[in-house]
A and B are shown apart, each in its own frame.
Chain A
Amino acid sequence: MFDPRPIKLTVNGKTIEATVEPRVHLADFLRKQLALTGTHLGCEHGVCGACTVLVNGATARACLMLAVQADGCAVETIESVASADGTLHPIQAALSRHHGLQCGYCTPGVVMTLLELQRESAGSALPEDKIRTALSGNLCRCTGYQGMVDAALEILG
């Protein structure tokens, strides 16, 4: 390990202390060191959005953030979204209902983006174009986006 660093952060509400190599990005840290493999890597150059997580409540590309930079931060991943009893979050349930996922590889990133949008909108209705703009940072090759837009409209519209 080159230049190992201790970090302390919370991930999905749990305090984590770990030693990381500075070059390891947050997505690899979550996936390999914490075995939270729901955060996916689709490009590692910050375009596809599959690795989107929440850092201190704001979406971030986990491939463009180093794990050392998350020292002291609160990170939320897809694994925290459904309730502890297994009940899907309304956004997740709506995605299934509207066929907003097919292969499911982009889905965790999509859920995290919509989660931020839901918290920011604080109950005020969002029009379709705003939802489409917000989702434009999450590439999906399967769905043509319509199902996920419809799911978001049901929850946020």
Chain B
Amino acid sequence: MKAPPFHYHAPDDLASAVALLATLENARVLAGGQSLMPMMNLRLAGPDHLIDLGRIADLRRIEETPQGLRIGAMTTQRALEKSDLVRRLCPLLAEAVALVGHQQTRNRGTLGGSLCHLDPGAELPVVAAALDAVLHVAGPAGARRIAFRDFPLDYLTPSLAPGEVLTHVDIARAPANSGAAFLEFNRRPADFAIVSAAATLTLGVDGRITQAAIALGGVSHAPVRLAQAEAGLIGARASVSAWESAAHLAAQSPCDGDELYPADYRQELSGVLVRRALAIACQRAGGAAHV
């Protein structure tokens, strides 16, 4: 099928993009096009105006900041995958981004596109949730920051006001003595996850856990943080039983399901993936290999 007709705009700068988006009726932002274009080709989406951010050079960058990483929204997934900076400062993102689709789609798909599209099975929103990413948005009323946890409003719906554009994302650098792991379960490796789990752990000098973050994807319209499980890990010693406790809470976390992958199955997967991700994260943090 072919996309329905639309007007095309390719502004060179952010201000023009915001102005277009704020003034045109039924306008949509085109980032990498790896989600929007299929929907348009299937005639499930029919914007009257497409505003292509591809010509705005500012939106493609990966920079080290005192806090960590600043990544432009139009940075391709492939650029993240290849970036030494990302590997060094944010190994969780590096691990997850390699699991996004196929190389042919990562070459064009962007960080911003994935975060704004908010597919429940997507990898990058789960990373953003686990790492408390801060999103920077530009709009007619100026710029603002949004904590990722406040970003998803509903299924495929980000908290963006009319005319607002995601410009860049701040991600804190992984602390010393920390480890992270991203695991997902799917039928074929490049598919969207049925359930995915991101975990980070930091170990103190005494071997006790000083920081933990766990996020699940595929269980709801947006990534879910497991606050109770995280709290339970703080102060605990790295151990199989610690992972089991967290996994138990993960498996009890409320979950959506469908006929093919019912909620109870996704909950089981949540438990399994959290247990495994924590063990790997701990090992990467320098913890004992046997746990």
Which residues of A does B touch, CB under 8 Å? 2-3, 5, 21-23, 25, 28, 44-46, 49, 52, 55, 58-61, 63-66, 68-69, 71, 113, 116, 133-134, 136-137
Contact = CB atoms under 8 A, between A and B. Distances in A.
Interface string B87-107: 000000000000001111101
Interface of B: 1-8, 10, 33-34, 37-38, 40-42, 50, 52, 54, 78, 101-105, 107-108, 188-190
Contact of A22 (B7, B34, B37): B7
Contact of A28 (B2, B6, B34, B78): B2
Contacts of B1: 44
Contacts of B33: 64-66, 69
A22 B107 contact: no
B104 A113 contact: yes
A133 to B, nearest CB: 7
Nearest to B8: A22
Give the interface SS of chain B, mostly helix, strand, loop or mixed: loop
Contacts of B102: 49, 136-137
A52 B78 CA distance: 16
A60 B3 CA distance: 18
B7 A59 contact: no
Given A25-B3, A25-B41, A44-B41, A133 B104 contact: no
15 contacts: A2-B5, A5-B8, A22-B50, A25-B3, A28-B2, A44-B41, A45-B38, A46-B105, A61-B108, A64-B33, A133-B189, A134-B103, A136-B188, A137-B102, A137-B104
Nearest to B5: A2
B4 A23 contact: yes
Given A22-B50, A45-B38, A136-B189, A113 B6 contact: no
Contacts of B2: 23, 25, 28, 44
B189 A64 contact: no
A152 to B, nearest CB: 14
B103 A63 contact: no
A32 to B, nearest CB: 11
Contacts of B188: 136
Nearest to A116: B103
A13 B267 CA distance: 53
B50 A61 contact: no
A69 B54 contact: yes
A65 B8 contact: no
Contacts of B107: 55, 58-60
B41 A59 contact: no
Given A49-B102, A58-B78, A59-B103, A65 B3 contact: no
A151 to B, nearest CB: 18
B165 to A, nearest CB: 18
Given A23-B6, A60-B107, A64-B34, 12 more contacts: A3-B8, A21-B5, A22-B6, A44-B1, A44-B38, A46-B105, A52-B104, A59-B107, A60-B108, A61-B34, A69-B54, A133-B190
A125 B283 CA distance: 29
Contacts of A116: 103
B36 to A, nearest CB: 9
Given A45-B42, A46-B34, A23 B103 contact: no
A113 B52 CA distance: 26
B14 to A, nearest CB: 18
A63 B54 CA distance: 17
Nearest to B188: A136
Contacts of A3: 5-8
A88 B78 CA distance: 29
B88 to A, nearest CB: 21
Contacts of A49: 102, 104
